[in-house]
Amino acid sequence: MNYQRSSALFAEAKQYIPGGVNSPVRAFKAVGGDPIFVKEAKGAYFYDEDGNRFIDYIASWGPLILGHAHKPVMDAVIEKAKKGTSFGMPTEIETQLAQLAISMVPNIDKIRFVNSGTEACMSAIRLARGFTKRDKIIKFAGCYHGHSDSFLIQAGSGAVTFGTPNSPGVTQGTAKDTLLVNYNDLESVRAMVSANKGEIAAIIIEPVAGNMGCIVPQNDFMNGLRELCTKEQILLIFDEVMTGFRLAKGGAQEVLGIDADIVTFGKVIGGGLPVGAFAARKEIMDYLAPDGPVYQAGTLSGNPLAMSAGLAMLMELNNKPEVFESLADKTEHLHEGFDRILKGKGVPHQINRMGSMISVHFTEEPVVDFASSAKGNNNMFKKYFHGMLNRGIYLPPSAFESYFLNDALSYGDLDQTIKALESVVEDLN
Ligand SMILES: *Cc1c(COP(=O)(O)O)cnc(C)c1O
């Protein structure tokens, strides 16, 4: 495949934009080579600046669950744009999207819209801290909640219970209030809670993780978390930026049967435009300004174009809930095809999947947390990624990302993807 024009555009972009990109994963650092510049997209495919066609398995990292340029969403945005793009005043469509989202998701009475998942998670912990009057939060190693300071934290050394910054610019003062524990390891959470009794405002978690590959909560882990939070009066925050309106109408709360105290959204809720949101029961949400003392605001929050895309998207999902089953079936088909081929060639691998989220890890051991995910063979992943890319299959350019299937993918597309792996696997070992 020829990537000449993409490479030239990347070289030019690097002169004016740090690393040539506006979000690091796009730069292909983890897999090497130059990123592909997209020209346009429709349904399950996108076309790059060199005229190559790719079957897309990232769907803009999740939002485009019904495929690119989905007509009802596109039409809604175009019509709305003709009437003005931003007012900084209330509009009816904000209430319409709020009502619909609240009707689809369990345990939420009120919702506040922001512009990204980062903002949603950042605001959710401020609200949790204000509401509980406690400072500390617990997060899980390998879970991603956006790039606000409180979340850019890694585990400290064994002797200290608090985290340390994992990016320059994050202060020790901030880091000390974020405690790190391990996914699927209830004992690590119990120990952390009892070492910080009465000080923890919230535990935030991706209820199905998607930022260390796809990792599914095991056995009684989530039940245990819920019980612990209730007992210790800690708010349980489900970061459903990825899983919300993707795993089911009601997201992971519905699929796992667990009630969260605060839920954050992003991605699908914006239908491909910049939207984030956080929501909770009334008594918690009423703690927010202007009714309550916890401050939170945004010039473009509830933007009419963004709201119209989100509303059109959620209406589609609400009216056609069979989409979630269709997506899960397609993802299972891909899983079975990939598993058969990798097994056939004796390539050590794990495939994790829930709903329309799936990831392939080149390792012998089950992948259940960040440490086991990090054991994947990255050289093999690079070969796999570029092999698939050269055959017109666009997978996430990092072993730590989940794939997001979209419902525009046909079984023909899936079979073409499986066939591509059949040829790529020859060079893997
Ligand atoms: C993408 C993501 C975020 C951050 O959302 P942005 O819109 O990129 O700021 C937060 N949490 C999870 C689980 C995500 O997948």
Give the domain-ending residue among 284, 319, 354.
319
Q: Is 173 exposed, middle or buried (0-12, 13-18, 19+ CB in 10 A)?
A: exposed
Are 365 and 238 members of one domain? no
Q: What is the mean pLDDT of the chain?
A: 96
Asked if residue 402 has its Cβ within 6 Å of ligand 1, the reply is no
Residue 112 token pair: 């506040």
- Interatomic CA distance for residues 21 and 16, integer angstroms: 9
Other CB atoms within 10 A of residue 92 CB: 9
Paired tokens of 242: 């990825």
> In the 8-state DSSP scheme, what is residue 179?
E
Q: Which of 123, 147, 148, 242 to mutate to test the pocket of ligand 1 (most atoms within 8 A of CB)?
A: 242
Sign of the dihedral defined by the CA atoms of residues 313, 318, 324, 325, in that order? negative
The first and second tokens of residue 344, run together, are 């056939």
Over residues 111-169, the pLDDT tens digits come to: 999 999 999 999 999 999 999 999 999 999 999 999 999 999 987 655 455 678 889 99
The contacts of residue 360 (CB under 8 Å, 6+ apart) are: 338, 342, 349, 350, 351, 384
**Same domain assignment for residues 278 and 360:** no
Could you tell me if 18 and 99 lie in one domain?
no
Q: What is the pLDDT of residues 158-207, one digit of tens each?
A: 545 567 888 999 999 999 999 999 999 999 999 999 999 999 999 999 99
Q: Is any atom of ligand 1 closer than 6 Å to the C-beta of 240?
A: no
> Beta-carbon neighbour count of residue 15 at 10 Å?
7
Q: What is the CATH number of the domain that holds 276?
A: 3.40.640.10
Q: Which helix (H) or strand (E) holds 417?
A: helix 411-424
pLDDT of residue 429: 73
Q: What is the residue-level pLDDT of the chain in tens, covering all 429 positions?
A: 999 999 999 999 999 999 999 999 999 999 999 999 999 999 999 999 999 999 999 999 999 999 999 999 999 999 999 999 999 999 999 999 999 999 999 999 999 999 999 999 999 999 999 999 999 999 999 999 999 999 999 876 554 556 788 899 999 999 999 999 999 999 999 999 999 999 999 999 999 999 999 999 998 999 999 999 999 999 999 999 999 999 999 999 999 999 999 999 999 999 999 999 999 999 999 999 999 999 999 999 999 999 999 999 999 999 999 999 999 999 999 999 999 999 999 999 999 999 999 999 999 999 999 999 999 999 999 999 999 999 999 999 999 999 999 999 999 999 999 999 999 999 887
Cα(227)–Cα(248) distance, integer angstroms: 24
396 close to ligand 1 (CB < 6 Angstrom): no
Residues 49 and 105 occupy one common structural domain:
no
- The residue nearest atom 10 of ligand 1, judged by CA position, is 145
- Residues 6+ away with beta carbon under 8 Å from 289: 295, 296, 297
Q: How many domains does the chain have?
A: 2
CB 387 within 8 A of CB 419: no
| Share above pLDDT 90 across residues of the chain, in percent, rounded to a whole number | 96
Residue finishing a domain among 319, 337, 354: 319
The domain boundary residue, chosen from 319, 347, 373: 319
Residue pointed to by tokens 């882990």: 221
Using the atom order of ligand 1, give the atom closest to the CA of residue 266: 7
- List the residue whose alpha carbon is closest to atom 8 of ligand 1: 117
> How do residues 305-333 score in pLDDT, each as one tens digit?
999 999 999 999 999 999 999 999 999 99
Active-site residue list: 144, 239, 267
pLDDT at 154: 83
Expressed as residue numbers, the domain containing 375 is 4-69+321-427
Q: Alpha-carbon distance 261 to 178, whole Å?
A: 19
Q: How many CB atoms lie within 10 A of CB 427?
A: 11
pLDDT given at position 163: 73
Q: Which residues pair with 291 in a beta bridge?
A: none
Q: Cα separation of 409 and 43, whole Å?
A: 7
How many Å lie between the centroid of ligand 1 and the Cα of residue 43?
Answer: 23
Domain co-membership, 62 together with 189: no
Tokens 């209406």 appear where? 315
Q: Are residues 115 and 204 in the same domain?
A: yes
Look up residue 346 and give its DSSP letter. Answer: T
Q: CATH code at 421?
A: 3.90.1150.10
For residue 117, the ligand 1 atom closest to its alpha carbon is 5
269: nearest Cα among 258, 256, 278, 261: 278
